[in-house]
Amino acid sequence: MFQLRIHGRGGQGVVTAAELVSVAAFIEGRHAQAFPSFGSERTGAPVVAFCRIDDKEIRVREPIAEPDALILQDPTLLHQVDVFGGLGPDGYILINSARSFEELGLGDFADRFRRDRLRTVPATDLAREHLGRPIPNAVLVGGFAALSGLISLESVAAAIRAKFAAKLGDNRAQLDEAVGINSVERFLGDQAIEQGWTMQAAAPPSGKRVLVVGAGPSGLSAAYHLTRLGHDVTIHEAGPMAGGMMRFGIPKYRLPREVLDAEVERILAMGVRLELDTKVTNIEQSLREGGFDAAFLAVGAHISKRAYIPAGESGHILDALSVLRSMEGQERPMLGRRVVVYGGGNTAMDVARTARRLGAEEAIVVYRRTRERMPAHDFEVEEAEQEGVMMRWLSTIKQANEGKLVIEKMELDQTGFPQPTGELEELEADSVVLALGQDTDLSLLEGIAGIDVEEGVVEVGPNMMTGHEGIFAGGDMVPDERTVTVGIGHGKKAARHIDGWLRGKPYEPRPKPEVVTFDMLNTWYYADAPRTVQPQLDPIRRQGTFDEVVHGLDESNALFEARRCLSCGNCFSCDNCYGVCPDNAVLKLAGTASANVNGYAIDLDYCKGCGMCVSECPCGAITMEPEDI
Ligand SMILES: Cc1cc2nc3c(=O)[nH]c(=O)nc-3n(C[C@H](O)[C@H](O)[C@H](O)COP(=O)(O)OP(=O)(O)OC[C@H]3O[C@@H](n4cnc5c(N)ncnc54)[C@H](O)[C@@H]3O)c2cc1C
Ligand code: SF4
Ligand code: SF4
C-alpha cells in the first residue's frame, strides 16, 4: 500500500489534491482512498489530507502516521507543524516553493533522504500564471505524479477533467453526453471544401515579413493567422510535402489526404509562400538572409526514440515513424505476416492497425504496463482490437532473433513501475516495430543566444517567444501536450503575440467571461437528446483498405448535434425572462426578433430585483449585480 499525506492551509485545496491523486489511481484500476482531517476549517488554518493507494481493497481508515510521500502546500507550515513526522528515508517529499531545500533551510535534513525523491516546485506561481488563480493543488498533483511515477500524468489530467468537468465547460456531459463539437466542426470543414469557401486577410498589409519553419499543423496555423493579421508569411519546410505528422504520421484511414491537401491549399490561396525541401539549419542565418522580421518555429518531434534490444543477425527491427512515413511513398514497408509493435501510445496503435491493413495475419502490441496505464486513447485501443490487433500487457522484449522474440513478463511494483519477473516466453515475429515516442531535432538553434532547452524541448514564455527576441516556437517542440489541436492553438496564440511584438503593442488577451457551471442552468428546459453517433466503416472492410474509418455527419444530424448545445451563459432568445417578469421590466429590443444576445434589456426603473428572470433563465445568461447607491 502507498500512503500519501498532504499538509496545507484551509483554502489551499489539500483535500482536492488528495481526491485528485486517488481518482487518478482509481482510473488506473487501483483501489484508492482520500479523506481530510480538519483541526479547524478556517481559511489559513493548518489542514491535513490523506490518500492511500493499493492493488487490493483498502480496509484501514485511520490518519496516516507513517507516510511514503509528503506534499507540503505551504512551506511556512515548517515552523508550525511536524510535517515530516513518520516519513522513512526512502520517502518522497514535494514542497510548493520556488526555493531549493537548501534555501528553505532544509539542506542537512534533506541529506537523510534519497535526493532523487525530493523536489520543490513553484506551484502557486505556475497556477497564477496559467490559471489566473493562486490555487496550487492540480499543479502539485501533476508534480507528485512526475516525481513518484505512482500515477501517470494522463490519469491526473483525466482526474482533473472529471473533477472540474463543469468548470471546463462540459455541462452537457453531466446531463447525458458531451456535445460532439468535433463532429459539428468537421461538418463545417467538409462543407467549406465542398463549396469552395475562401479566406481573406482581415487586416491591411503591415509591411512585415515572418518566417515560419515547418509546415505541420502548428506552422500552418501560425501562417494562416499571421496572414489574416496582414503580415507577409513564408514557410520553409524540410520535407517534400506540407502537413507534418498529419501526412507522415497519422494514417490515411484517420485523415484522408484529399482533406489535408484541400486545407493546405486554402491557406496557400491566401498568399502564404511555401518553400518545400528547404531545411532550416541555422535560424539566425535564415532570418538574416531572407530579410525576415520575426520567426515562428514549429519543427515538431521526428527522431524516433530507440530501446536497446539485443538482436540476432537477422532480427528485423524498424521504427514506427519510418514505417508510417513510407506509407506515403510508392513502396509499401515489408513487415511480414507476424508483426510485433513495442510501445503503448497512439503511434503503436497506428502501426499495428496499418500492419493489419498491409496484410499481416497477426499484429501484436507488446507493452510493459497494463491497459489502464497505456497512454493510447481508449477509442484507439478499442478500434485496434475491433480490427484484430492483439495486446500483450505487462511484457517486454528481451531479445529479437530471426522469426522469434524472447518476451519477459513484468509486474507492477508498489509505485506502479513495471519490474522484470525473470519469466520468459517465445513469440513468433517476422518484424518488430518500435513505437516508443519521438525527440525533437533542435540543431537549427545551436549557438543561438538565449534559447533555453529543458528535457529536449524549447522553453517559451506565455507569449510563445523563446529566450531569443523575435523567435517564437510552438507545437511538439515546446513543453505541452503533443496533439494537432494543441499545435494549432499554439500557432494561433503565437501569431497574435508576433503581431503585437511586430507592431510594438504587446497583445493583451481579452478577459475571459465567467464560466457558467452546471448548477447555474435550468436543465429541465432542455429536451433529452442523446449524442449523435458518427457512422463507422465495418471492421471487416477496414482490414483490407485504408478507407476512412469514422465518417462525418449529414446536415440534419449536424444540426441536431449543434442543437444539443446548452448555450451556457449565452442568451438564445427563448423569451422566458420576458414572460416571467411580474413587472414587465424585461423589454424586447426592436428589430431583434431572432436569437440575439442583445435582443433584450431590463428597464431598471421598473425592475424590483425579485430575481425571477435569473432563476428561470435556462442557460444562466442573466446575473444580478448589487446596485451602487
Ligand atoms: C503516428 C502518430 C499519430 C498521431 N495521431 C494523432 C491524432 O490522432 N490526433 C492528434 O491530435 N495528434 C496526433 N499525433 C500528434 C500530432 O501529429 C502532433 O502533435 C502534431 O503534428 C505536431 O504538430 P507540429 O506542427 O508541432 O509538428 P509536425 O506535425 O511534426 O510538423 C513539423 C514540420 O516541420 C518540418 N521540419 C522539421 N525540421 C525542420 C527544419 N529544420 N526546417 C524546416 N522544416 C522542418 C517537418 O518536416 C514537419 O513537416 C500523432 C503523432 C504521430 C507520430
Ligand atoms: S429581477 Fe424580477 S423584476 Fe427585475 S427583470 Fe427580473 S423578473 Fe423582472
Ligand atoms: S436571457 Fe435567458 S431567459 Fe431571457 S431570453 Fe435569453 S436565454 Fe431566455
For residue 59, what is the domain's CATH number?
Answer: 3.40.920.10
Of all protein residues, the one whose alpha carbon is nearest to atom 4 of ligand 2 is 607
The ligand whose atoms approach the alpha carbon of 621 most closely is: 3
Q: Does the predicted TM-score (pTM) go above 0.75? A: no
Q: Probe ligand 2: pick from 581, 605, 614, max atoms within 8 Å of CB?
A: 581
pLDDT of residue 595: 46
pLDDT of residue 166: 46
| Mean of pLDDT values over 186-197 | 94
pLDDT of residue 499: 98
**Helix H or strand E encompassing 73:** none
Q: Assess whether 15 and 144 both reside in one domain.
A: yes
Tell me whether residue 168 is in a domain.
no
pLDDT of residue 353: 93
Å from CA of 545 to ligand 1 middle = 24
Q: Which residue has the higher pLDDT, 283 or 180?
A: 283
Q: Assess whether 280 and 230 both reside in one domain.
A: yes
Atom of ligand 1 nearest to the CA of 221: 25
pLDDT of residue 107: 86
Å from CA of 574 to ligand 2 middle = 16
pLDDT of residue 57: 85
C-alpha cell at 445: 538553434
Q: Assess whether 12 and 157 both reside in one domain.
A: yes
Atom of ligand 2 nearest to the CA of 586: 5
Of all protein residues, the one whose alpha carbon is nearest to atom 7 of ligand 3 is 571
Highest-pLDDT range among 36-50, 287-301, 355-369 = 287-301
Residue 328's pLDDT band (cuts 50, 70, 90): confident
Q: Assess whether 248 and 289 both reside in one domain.
A: yes
Tell me whether residue 9 is in a domain.
yes
Lowest mean pLDDT among 149-163, 450-464, 559-573: 149-163
pLDDT of residue 126: 84
Å from CA of 246 to ligand 1 middle = 6
Q: What's the Cα-to-Cα distance from 410 to each of 215, 422, 445, rounded to whole Å?
A: 41, 8, 40
Residue 168 has pLDDT above 60, yes or no: no
C-alpha cell at 359: 496484410
Highest-pLDDT range among 62-66, 323-327, 437-441, 500-504 = 500-504
Q: Mean pLDDT across the chain, nearest whole number?
A: 88
Residue 124 has pLDDT above 90, yes or no: no
Domain end (from 457, 488, 503): 503
Tell me whether residue 560 is in a domain.
no
pLDDT of residue 295: 98
Domain end (from 388, 403, 437): 437
Tell me whether residue 526 is in a domain.
no
Domain end (from 471, 503, 535): 503
Ligand 3 binding site (Cβ under 6 Å of any ligand atom): 571-577, 600, 617-619, 621-622
Å from CA of 622 to ligand 3 middle = 7
Lowest mean pLDDT among 171-185, 204-218, 301-315, 409-423: 301-315
pLDDT of residue 40: 43
Ligand 1 binding site (Cβ under 6 Å of any ligand atom): 213-219, 236-239, 244-246, 249-250, 254, 279-280, 298-300, 302, 324, 346-347, 350, 441, 444, 475-476, 482-485, 487
Residue 132's pLDDT band (cuts 50, 70, 90): low
Residue 594 has pLDDT above 60, yes or no: no
Categorise residue 54: left if φ over 0, alpha if ψ from -120 to 50, beta otherwise: beta
Q: Assess whether 419 and 275 both reside in one domain.
A: no
Atom of ligand 3 nearest to the CA of 570: 7
Of all protein residues, the one whose alpha carbon is nearest to atom 8 of ligand 3 is 574
Residue 352 has pLDDT above 70, yes or no: yes
For the CA atoms of 144, 148, 150, 154, the dihedral, rounded to the nearest 10 degrees, stands at 50
What is d(CA 524, CA 528) in angstroms, rounded to the nearest whole number? 9
pLDDT of residue 157: 84
Q: What's the Cα-to-Cα distance from 173 to each of 106, 218, 565, rounded to whole Å?
A: 46, 29, 11
Of all protein residues, the one whose alpha carbon is nearest to atom 20 of ligand 1 is 484
Q: Assess whether 293 and 312 both reside in one domain.
A: no
Atom of ligand 2 nearest to the CA of 602: 5
C-alpha cell at 101: 531545500
Residue 37 has pLDDT above 80, yes or no: no
Residue 389: give the domain boundaries: 305-437
Highest-pLDDT range among 220-224, 398-402, 405-409, 615-619 = 220-224
Q: Assess whether 337 and 395 both reside in one domain.
A: yes
Q: Assess whether 143 and 219 both reside in one domain.
A: no
Residue 22 has pLDDT above 50, yes or no: yes
Residue 68's pLDDT band (cuts 50, 70, 90): very high
Please give the sequence-ordered ranges of beta strands (E in DSSP) within 192-246, or none if there are none: 209-213, 232-236
Please state the domain count of the chain. Answer: 4
Tell me whether residue 369 is in a domain.
yes
The CATH number of residue 624's host domain is 3.30.70.20
The CATH number of residue 268's host domain is 3.50.50.60
Amino acid found at 6: I
Residue 134 has pLDDT above 80, yes or no: no
Of all protein residues, the one whose alpha carbon is nearest to atom 2 of ligand 3 is 617
Tell me whether residue 364 is in a domain.
yes
Q: Assess whether 235 and 252 both reside in one domain.
A: yes
C-alpha cell at 471: 523567435
Tell me whether residue 512 is in a domain.
no
Q: Assess whether 473 and 577 both reside in one domain.
A: no
CA nearest to 395, candidates 360, 370, 432, 430 = 370
Atom of ligand 2 nearest to the CA of 577: 7
Atom of ligand 1 nearest to the CA of 441: 38
Å from CA of 595 to ligand 3 middle = 10
Å from CA of 476 to ligand 1 middle = 7
> How would you label 422-457 residue by residue, b for 16+ Cβ within 10 Å and e otherwise?
eeeeebebbbbbbbbbbbbbbebbeeeeebeeeeeb
CB-based contact 136:73 (threshold 8 Å): yes
Of all protein residues, the one whose alpha carbon is nearest to atom 6 of ligand 2 is 613
Å from CA of 621 to ligand 3 middle = 6
Ligand 2 binding site (Cβ under 6 Å of any ligand atom): 581, 583, 585-586, 602, 607-613
Residue 532 has pLDDT above 90, yes or no: no
Residue 593 has pLDDT above 70, yes or no: no
Å from CA of 518 to ligand 2 middle = 22
Residue 423 has pLDDT above 90, yes or no: yes
Lowest mean pLDDT among 291-300, 382-391, 466-475: 382-391
Q: Assess whether 106 and 229 both reside in one domain.
A: no
Q: Assess whether 433 and 463 both reside in one domain.
A: no
C-alpha cell at 576: 422566458
Tell me whether residue 563 is in a domain.
no
Please give the sequence-ordered ranges of beta strands (E in DSSP) within 495-570, or none if there are none: none
Residue 285 has pLDDT above 70, yes or no: yes
